[in-house]
C-alpha cells in the first residue's frame, strides 16, 4: 500500500468513526419485551409508521416477513407458497441452526472497523437472516422492518443476506420509529453475499426521528455474473445519518448499482456514499444519487470507484437541488484506477430549480408552489431503481405522499 493510499484510508476511518456531540453512554439499553404476534395484531400506531416505510401487514403480498421492535423479534415467517424457497429468521436463531454461518459472520466487515461496529458486536440486538435458496425465483418482495419504540434507545442489529447461485429476489426493508421517539442511536451491520448468477435488489426506506443518530455499516460480495441493486430512500428529518456501503465485485461479469434518493429536512445531516471495487474481468458498477436540501440541512454525497482489473467500467453520478439558502450539498467523487483497461467516470451537478421550468408550469395553470413540487417529484424519479413495475409504483406512491407533506 502506498503512503498516499494509507493516508486516505486512515482519513476515511476517522470520518466513519467520528462521533462529534455523540456520547454512547447517554443512550439507554433497557426496553419493553414484545411478545410474538402477527403483524396485523400490532398496535395501530406501530402499523401506521410501518406502512410509511413500505411494510404491509398483508402477508399474501409479501413472500416472507421479519419484524423487530427495539430488541424483540415479534414476527418471522415465510408465506406458504414460498416455503422451501426462502429462509427468514433472526440472526441469533440462524447462528444456532447453522454452524456454517460463522464463515459469513463478520466476513465482510471487521468488528473493530469503528466504534459503531464494536458496539454492534458487543451489544448485539438480533437482526435478520434472509436466504434465497439456489435457483429459486421469488416473484413478490420479501420484507423486513426494524422499529424503534423506546425513546433514547440504542438499537444494534446485525443482518446477513445470502442469495444462493442463480436465485432472484427483491427485498424491501423499512427502518422507522414510534411517533413518541425523539432521540436515539441505531447501528445496523449488514453483510450481503450474492453468489454465482444470483440477482438481488434491496430497497431500504428510512423514516427516523429528528434527534436520531443512524450508523449503517454495509458490505456486499458479488461472485461471477451476480447482480446487486441497492436502493436507498431517506425523506424524513434525522439528526445525523452516516453510511458508506461497499461492494466487492470479485466474480467475473458481476454488476452492482447503488441508487440513493435523499431529502434533507430541518437541521438534518446526511453523509451518504458508496464504494465499488471492481476486481473481476468485465465487472460493472454505478453509484447514482439524487439529493434535495431544504431548510438548514447538510448533505454530503460521496462516491468511490476503484478499478483493480482490466476490462471493467464504473460511473458515479450526483445531482442535487438546493431549495434553501441555509442548506448545503457537497458532492465528493473519488476515482482510483490501479490497472490499464479500467474505465471510471463521474459527473455532478448541484443547483436550484431552473426559473424557466417554474414559469413554464405556471403558464399552464399551476401555482409556483405546485410547480416546484412537481419538479421535485420528477427529480426524485424512482425509475433509476430498475425495479419491477408493481414495486416501482408502490415506492413511487410512498415518495409522492411523503414529499407532499414536506414540500
pLDDT per position as a tens digit, 60-106: 889 999 999 999 999 999 999 999 999 999 999 999 999 999 999 99
Q: Are residues 20 and 33 in the same domain?
A: yes
Q: Are residues 371 and 246 in the same domain?
A: no
Q: pLDDT class for 11, splitting at 50, 70, 90?
A: low
Number of domains in the chain: 2
pLDDT at position 303: 97
Mean pLDDT of the chain: 91
Q: Is the pLDDT of residue 407 over 90?
A: no
* Cell of residue 115, nine digits: 466504534
Q: pLDDT class for 15, splitting at 50, 70, 90?
A: low
The CA distance from 34 to 148, in Å, is: 12
The CA distance from 280 to 299, in Å, is: 32
pLDDT at position 392: 74
Which of 304-308, 341-345, 368-372 is predicted least confidently?
368-372
How far is CA 365 from each of CA 213, 235, 370, rounded to the nearest angstrom? 42, 28, 10
Q: Is the pLDDT of residue 384 over 80?
A: no
pLDDT at position 8: 52
User: Tens digit of pLDDT for each residue in 348-373?
Assistant: 988 888 888 888 888 888 888 888 77
Q: Are residues 244 and 209 in the same domain?
A: yes
pLDDT at position 17: 47
Q: pLDDT class for 128, splitting at 50, 70, 90?
A: very high
**Quick one: which of 274, 94, 93, 62 has its CA closest to 173?**
62
Q: Are residues 364 and 283 in the same domain?
A: no
Domain endpoint, select from 312, 331, 353: 353
Which of 140-144, 169-173, 382-386 is predicted least confidently?
382-386
Domain endpoint, select from 338, 353, 368: 353
Q: Are residues 308 and 392 in the same domain?
A: no
Helix (H, G, I), strand (E, B) or coil at 154: strand
Q: pLDDT class for 107, splitting at 50, 70, 90?
A: very high
pLDDT at position 305: 98
Q: Are residues 145 and 271 in the same domain?
A: yes
Q: Are residues 102 and 114 in the same domain?
A: yes
pLDDT at position 58: 87
Residue 193 lies in domain:
3-353
Q: Could you tell me which residue, 162 or 362, shows the higher pLDDT?
A: 162
Percentage of the chain exceeding pLDDT 70: 91
pLDDT at position 215: 97
Q: Is the pLDDT of residue 287 over 60?
A: yes
Q: Are residues 360 and 346 in the same domain?
A: no
Q: Are residues 256 and 308 in the same domain?
A: yes
Q: Are residues 18 and 136 in the same domain?
A: yes
Q: Are residues 335 and 376 in the same domain?
A: no
Q: Are 68 and 128 contacting, i.e. CB atoms less than 8 angstroms apart?
A: yes
The CA distance from 55 to 261, in Å, is: 19
Q: Are residues 238 and 371 in the same domain?
A: no
Q: What is the mean pLDDT of the segment spanning 149-157?
A: 97
pLDDT at position 374: 79
Domain endpoint, select from 310, 329, 353: 353
Amino acid at each position: 500500500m502506498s503512503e498516499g493510499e494509507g493516508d486516505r484510508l486512515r482519513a476515511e476511518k476517522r470520518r466513519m468513526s467520528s462521533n462529534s456531540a455523540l456520547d454512547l453512554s447517554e443512550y439507554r439499553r433497557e426496553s419493553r419485551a414484545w411478545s410474538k404476534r402477527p403483524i396485523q395484531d400490532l398496535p395501530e400506531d406501530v402499523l401506521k409508521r410501518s406502512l410509511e416505510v413500505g411494510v404491509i401487514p398483508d402477508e399474501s403480498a409479501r413472500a416472507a416477513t421479519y419484524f423487530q421492535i427495539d430488541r424483540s423479534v415479534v414476527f418471522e415467517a415465510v408465506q406458504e407458497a414460498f416455503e422451501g424457497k426462502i429462509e427468514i429468521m433472526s440472526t441469533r436463531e440462524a447462528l444456532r441452526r447453522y454452524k456454517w454461518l460463522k464463515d459469513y459472520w463478520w466476513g465482510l466487515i471487521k468488528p473493530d472497523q469503528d466504534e459503531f461496529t464494536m458496539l454492534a458486536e458487543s451489544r448485539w440486538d438480533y437482526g435478520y437472516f434472509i436466504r434465497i435458496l439456489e435457483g429459486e425465483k421469488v416473484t413478490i418482495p420479501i420484507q423486513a422492518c426494524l422499529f424503534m419504540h423506546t425513546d433514547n434507545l440504542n438499537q444494534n442489529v446485525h443482518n446477513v443476506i445470502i442469495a444462493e447461485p442463480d436465485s432472484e429476489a427483491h427485498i424491501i426493508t423499512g427502518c422507522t420509529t414510534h411517533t413518541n421517539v425523539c432521540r436515539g442511536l441505531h447501528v445496523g451491520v449488514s453483510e450481503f453475499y450474492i453468489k454465482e448468477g444470483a440477482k438481488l435488489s434491496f430497497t431500504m426506506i428510512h423514516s427516523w426521528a429528528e434527534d436520531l443518530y443512524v450508523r449503517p455499516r454495509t458490505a456486499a460480495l458479488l461472485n461471477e455474473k451476480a447482480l446487486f441493486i441497492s436502493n436507498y430512500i431517506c425523506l424524513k428529518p434525522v439528526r445525523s445519518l452516516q453510511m458508506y456501503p461497499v461492494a466487492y465485485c470479485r466474480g467475473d461479469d458481476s454488476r452492482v448499482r447503488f441508487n440513493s434518493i435523499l431529502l434533507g429536512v430541518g437541521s438534518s445531516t446526511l453523509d451518504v456514499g458508496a464504494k465499488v471495487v471492481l476486481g473481476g474481468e468485465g465487472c460493472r458498477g454505478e453509484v447514482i444519487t439524487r439529493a434535495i436540501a431544504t431548510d438548514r440541512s447538510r448533505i454530503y454525497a460521496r462516491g468511490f470507484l476503484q478499478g483493480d482489473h482490466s476490462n471493467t467500467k464504473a460511473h458515479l453520478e450526483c445531482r442535487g437541488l438546493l431549495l434553501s439558502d441555509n442548506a448545503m450539498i457537497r458532492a465528493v467523487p473519488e476515482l482510483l484506477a490501479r490497472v490499464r483497461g479500467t474505465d471510471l467516470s463521474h459527473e455532478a451537478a448541484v443547483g436550484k430549480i431552473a426559473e424557466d421550468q417554474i414559469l413554464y408550469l405556471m403558464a399552464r395553470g399551476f401555482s409556483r408552489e405546485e410547480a416546484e413540487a412537481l419538479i421535485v417529484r420528477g427529480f426524485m424519479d424512482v425509475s433509476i431503481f430498475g425495479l419491477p413495475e408493481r414495486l416501482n409504483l408502490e415506492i413511487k406512491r410512498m415518495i409522492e405522499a411523503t414529499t407532499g407533506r414536506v414540500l
